[in-house]
Structure 1
């Protein structure tokens, strides 16, 4: 369990951190903008390198040492680099570089609640109207009060849409059910109508897709793929190349085996 947890932590962070620091040319001083971006990238890359070393140490460690790495060593390492990113954000406050550095720092708070709140407050205080805030919103996706503030106060349509989406996800909890459907589905349909064209961008610039399509998939699953529902039509070819439809087997017991090769 510990090995799996640590692996997931490392993979999740690396996927978040890759590609975050793209050059953002400052119209007034492009050279200075590139230099600031390089500083943010340097801190980011240094953390990734140190984290990889720690992960290798974790793999070779005994059970007691593994516990120490998870509870003490890695949180301390994360906090160290979060503070460096915080300092860069403070040096370049109210610039695109600041929101970039803060978005990177937020998940690296090292379980320090005070530091997490400090970074989060600065992000919202300085960048509530900046669509660059979008990749950081997932870090406080469980904070109903903050999400509501973003939806109601932000001048950025992207921020409002993504905050509304995460708030609907918060209401949904572990999944759409008959108990929460009356509350969640209207909220999702409203987001789909008003913000469906907005992309859900994560830290690192990774797009999860447009909000409208994400919601469409969730609603389709809820309405059509639950236990007791009639299976949607499937048209394909069998192993011999003969075309078939799922409805051809109506009234018979059918086992559907979904698999893939990566």
Structure 2
């Protein structure tokens, strides 16, 4: 028995030490060549001492295009080999904006729909929206591997969830919700334990299901609470009786920088009109305090300390900045809408009250 065990361990060890196939080595070489060129340019950008030099290196970031061309030639010459999926994955995830990336996407729904090893790129299709739906349906139908099937169910469900969340048309939103729930229900029932890149897909699904049920217009807003920059605890519900505009943001978020002065203006506009602005900042504490000073933020902020902090996670944030308008009863009035519309609603309510 002991000798059999030793033989098995020896076989496992030999497999672990087995050299990569020539095809896998070629694929890796193309990816490394591209990544090394980007890394070298980044190092030059970091080392640049003048703005002119920095602009030069910003303008010379290597394109993935030439490497995508090489990769596609390699893929097309080796369609029947198992390791070729590594090249397809890179094209779908790393070269989506190039013709080769789009061709690889089509291949996922045809040549490679039933292959093992495509789960990571299939999951990434959640960011490509409805155009990826036929590919995902093909993988769900043809692929017998648990990871690949679970990844396709997740991505398709996520696409319909985002359509539901963003749709202004009630019928369209309802149809998207049904489709999302169908995908999520099958994934939860049959693939609850599947992980992709170390993350459990059912955990992501749970957050989206929570958002569908609890973070829509008309729902009572979940509590936001924590310490402000002075270390004082406060909560969203402390402002019950007022309209509250909530912004989730971070100093790391370039899109937030232009919004913050507008938030300051909004805070001043609604201050004496039955409204208040509060923020959920997602920087670590030292960086948060610096950002509050740098951008002269005039409204109170909960410091969440990370973009996966307790409040940010509860609200399942996918984009920054994200704004909510909470009405005086604590109910979500506007979700991820325009700041102007939120301010207008606050001011209109004050006029109606008179």
Q: TM-score range by the shorter chain?
A: 0.5 to 0.7
Q: Give 2:211's aligned residue.
A: 221
State the 1:46 CA deviation: 0.9
State the 1:120 CA deviation: 3.5
Distance 1:217 1:59 in 2: 40
Measured at CA, do residues 185 and 129 of structure 1 come closer, stay the same or move farther in structure 2, by a change above 3 Å? same
Distance 1:237 1:117 in 2: 46
State the 1:132 CA deviation: 1.1
Q: Give 2:154's aligned residue.
A: 165
Measured at CA, do residues 154 and 256 of structure 1 come closer, stay the same or move farther in structure 2, by a change above 3 Å? same
Unaligned stretches of 5+ residues in structure 2? 1-11, 46-51, 245-276, 285-354
SS at match of 1:128: coil
State the 1:54 CA deviation: 5.4
Distance 1:84 1:166 in 2: 28
Q: Give 1:146's aligned residue.
A: 135
Residues 3-61 of structure 1: CA distance to partner in whole angstroms, max 9, x if unpaired?
A: xxxxxxxxxxxxxxxxxxxxxx9x88964426554433222111112234556599433
Q: Give 1:45's aligned residue.
A: 32
Are 1:104 and 2:90 counterparts?
Answer: yes
Higher RCO (Cα < 8 Å, 6 or more apart): 1
Q: Give 1:258's aligned residue.
A: 280
**Farther off after superposition, 237-246 or 251-260:** 237-246
Q: Give 1:129's aligned residue.
A: 114
Residues 210-235 of structure 1: CA distance to partner in whole angstroms, max 9, x if unpaired?
A: 33322322232343334553222456
**RMSD value over aligned CA atoms?**
4.2
Alignment TM-score, normalising by the size of structure 1: 0.62
Distance 1:194 1:84 in 2: 38
Contact 2:139-2:152 within 8 A present in 1 as well: yes
Answer 1 or 2: which has greater helix percent. 1
> Which structure is larger by alpha-carbon Rg, 1 or 2?
2
Residues 127-179 of structure 1: CA distance to partner in whole angstroms, max 9, x if unpaired?
A: 32234112222356523322222222222233233223333343433834462
Answer 1 or 2: which has greater strand percent. 2
Measured at CA, do residues 83 and 29 of structure 1 come closer, stay the same or move farther in structure 2, by a change above 3 Å? farther
Residues 81-125 of structure 1: CA distance to partner in whole angstroms, max 9, x if unpaired?
A: 12333344456544442101221133436633xx34543444444
Measured at CA, do residues 47 and 246 of structure 1 come closer, stay the same or move farther in structure 2, by a change above 3 Å? closer
Alignment TM-score, normalising by the size of structure 2: 0.49
